[in-house]
């Protein structure tokens, strides 16, 4: 774990995006043909072209970039033919932790300080941490991590909000209960296409990341924060690994044309 911490490259910058990650990703990917509700379940790389099986039909290509969480490879929600035992072994060595977010609307929020961190409790791990009025908006965002977040997820939709409202009311006064209204919350561990939030460094993680990132027969290329040697567990690590995989694929395809 100490070695993993030493490998991690901290940029020193960790900021919210005012309009949200979703808006950023949507605008960045605007020129692309994006298909939602179309999960790939099989990547057949036995023939002259890669064939990807989806509920909306097969896709044929000379190469493919696979950017799925390691758990989806480990449990074979996404399968490969021929099988890639080394990829599955590496994916099993990179479990995902859980980090969930929750948002509440606040009525009459002017009496709350802007951009202020509030800890629900400091004497136990079964707690949330909250930001009051992020960007000055009349809302609270909450953060829950680890096994506690996984436990709350099991209670179903709305469990984070219910916990947060009670905890905030305990700290700021019972009047807060009627001023807080749930907006949204995540549930990454329950999401079958994610199975967690981001990878963490068990012993041997460096080797597993390298194994997952390695191209297969110059046809399959892999990306995701779990493939990053130093920027793992971050959105920018996932982005940079995607750029690396794309460059690898373009180089191979250009060589085929030469």
Q: What is the mean pLDDT of the chain?
A: 93
Range from 4-13, 14-23, 56-65, 75-84 carrying the lowest mean pLDDT = 4-13
Closest Cα to residue 244, out of 95, 83, 67? 67
Burial of 10 (0-12, 13-18, 19+ CB in 10 A): exposed
Q: How confident is the model at residue 21 (pLDDT cuts 50, 70, 90)?
A: confident
The model's pLDDT over 113-127, given as tens digits with 9 standing for 90+, comes to 999 999 999 999 999
Per-residue confidence (pLDDT) for residue 3, from 0 to 100: 72
* Average pLDDT rounded to a whole number, residues 62-76: 96
232: domain CATH number is 3.50.50.60
* All residues at 6 or more sequence positions from 49 whose CB lies less than 8 Å from its CB, including other chains: 60, 61, 62
The model's pLDDT over 145-189, given as tens digits with 9 standing for 90+, comes to 999 999 999 999 999 999 999 999 999 999 999 999 999 999 999
Same domain as 84, residue 112: no
CB 245 within 8 A of CB 219: no
Q: Is 43 helix (H, G, I), strand (E, B) or coil?
A: strand
Q: Among residues 142, 158, 190, which one ends one of the domains? A: 190
Residues 44-72, buried b or exposed e (16+ Cβ, 10 A)?
Answer: bbeeeebbbbeeeeebeeebbbbbbbbbb
* Average pLDDT rounded to a whole number, residues 225-247: 94
What does the alpha-carbon distance between residue 251 and residue 258 come to, in Å, rounded to a whole number?
11
Per-residue confidence (pLDDT) for residue 1, from 0 to 100: 60
CA angle 48, 226, 80 (to 5 degrees): 30
Tell me, yes or no, whether 195 lies in a domain.
no
Tell me, yes or no, whether 136 lies in a domain.
yes
Q: Among residues 190, 209, 230, which one ends one of the domains? A: 190
Domain extent for 57? 2-95+200-257
Q: How many domains does the chain have?
A: 2
Same domain as 51, residue 110: no
Could you count the other beta carbons within 10 Å of the beta carbon of residue 209?
Answer: 27
pLDDT beyond 70 at 258: no
- Cα 127 from chain centroid? 21
Same domain as 105, residue 36: no
Could you count the other beta carbons within 10 Å of the beta carbon of residue 211?
Answer: 19
Same domain as 72, residue 134: no
What does the alpha-carbon distance between residue 72 and residue 247 come to, in Å, rounded to a whole number?
24
More confident of the two residues 79 and 17 = 79
Instruction: Copy the structure tokens of residue 60.
Output: 């044929």
Per-residue confidence (pLDDT) for residue 132, from 0 to 100: 98
């Amino acid at each position: 774990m100490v070695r993993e911490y030493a490998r991690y490259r901290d940029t020193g910058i960790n900021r919210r995006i005012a309009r949200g990650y979703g808006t950023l990703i949507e605008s960045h990917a605007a020129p692309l043909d994006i298909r939602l509700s179309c999960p790939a379940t099989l990547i057949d790389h036995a023939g002259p072209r890669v064939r990807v099986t989806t509920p909306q039909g097969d896709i044929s290509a000379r190469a493919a970039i696979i950017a799925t969480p390691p758990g989806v490879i480990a449990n074979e929600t996404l399968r490969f033919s021929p099988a890639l035992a080394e990829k599955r072994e590496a994916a099993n060595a990179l479990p995902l932790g859980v980090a969930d977010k929750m948002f509440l609307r606040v009525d009459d929020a002017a009496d709350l300080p802007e951009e202020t961190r509030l800890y629900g409790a400091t004497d136990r791990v079964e707690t949330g941490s909250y930001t009051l009025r992020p960007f000055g908006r009349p809302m609270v965002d909450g953060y829950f991590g680890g096994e506690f977040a996984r436990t709350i997820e099991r209670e179903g939709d709305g469990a984070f909000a219910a916990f947060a409202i009670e905890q905030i009311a305990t700290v700021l006064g019972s009047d807060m209960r009627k001023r807080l209204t749930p907006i949204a919350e995540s549930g990454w561990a329950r999401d079958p296409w994610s199975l967690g939030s981001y990878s963490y460094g068990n012993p041997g993680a460096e080797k597993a990341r390298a194994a997952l990132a390695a191209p297969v027969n110059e046809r399959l290329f892999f990306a995701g924060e779990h493939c990053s040697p130093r920027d793992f567990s971050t959105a920018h690590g996932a982005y940079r690994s995607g750029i690396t995989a794309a460059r690898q694929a373009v180089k191979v395809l250009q060589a085929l044309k030469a």
